[in-house]
Amino acid sequence: MVKEGLYFNEPFSEDYIRSFKIDKLLYQGRSKYQMIQCFTNQFFGKMLFLDKKIQSAQVDEYVYHESLVHPVMLSHPNPKHVLILGGGEGATIREVLRYPEVEKVTMVDIDKKLIEICKQCLPEWSKGAFDHPKTELIIGDARRFVEETQDKYDIIISDLTEPVNKGPSVMLFTQEFYHLISSKLKNNGFFVMQAGSTDMIHHDFFVSCYQTLKKAFPLVKPFWVFVLSFGLPWGFLGAAKDGMSLDTDGEKTGSRFDALNREGVRFYRPEMHRSYFVLPVYLFNSLDKGKGKVITDKNPYIWTL
């Protein structure tokens, strides 16, 4: 357990550990599913860690959440019904609700305790999104929900934690699950997911998610952004059902972005849209050469970093 005035150590690999001074401890405890630790740091502001892995920091949470949501949401001409898997901080809902055409956003998260802590300690993230009349919050297992729902969605967003050993997300990154996701999308629907680190050394999870997603969708587009508090470039994957094209050039985004509620948008701008999809040589080569593995229910991916 950590204490104020000491340092919180986040292990990344056997050779690399990051340390953050704890100025004020906001919460520390274990939910049914994971260890939750939240504290303030003079450099990063409020910080949230799950099972000792950083999830969000006040200094740049908007970089991650705006990047997860807008490149794909802006590609859809009329996203009325959006499903979010995970996203306990509420910031993903916040960004989705910027779209006036959205009639309903359903969020499914297994960890009620985490959501309560985020509401209490990190209200700046959700900005009231949990209580918005368009929001439906469901506490439950995301896979079971997708299996059982009869609804069809315009956009499905996966804002899940990495599949750590015995964690709640292990079975939510498999080929079988992505086929389920595809079956719950409307014919012109899009899926987008956070897919882990895209750094030079540890991008196997990202590449494996890409290979797996291609088994369920005819079109998959990788993109990335640098997140300061993660200390890494971070990867996302957008997928289109029925091969509909995602807007990777930004030709459609300018006028659509102008129609949004842009109050509080601090990172995304249409002029930078195309740059999300321009990958460095090392990452492009890993994807092009088919590195990684296809993740299945029988052979899931376990994040070991």
State how far the Cα of 36 lies from the Cα of 31, in Å rounded to an integer.
Answer: 7
Indicate which residue of 109, 159, 199, 204 is catalytic.
159
If you ran DSSP here, which 8-state letter would residue 303 be given?
A: B
Which residues lie below 8 Å from residue 47, measured CB to CB, with a gap of 6+? 20, 38, 39, 40, 41, 54, 56, 57, 58, 229
Q: Residues 195, 14, 290, CA angle at the centre, nearest 5°?
A: 35
Q: Residues 62, 206, 31, CA angle at the centre, nearest 5°?
A: 60
State how far the Cα of 273 lies from the Cα of 169, in Å rounded to an integer.
Answer: 29
Q: Tell me the CA distances in angstroms from 223 to 73, 215, 244, one per residue in order.
A: 14, 18, 17
The reply to whether 109 belongs to the active site is no
Residues annotated catalytic, as ranges = 159
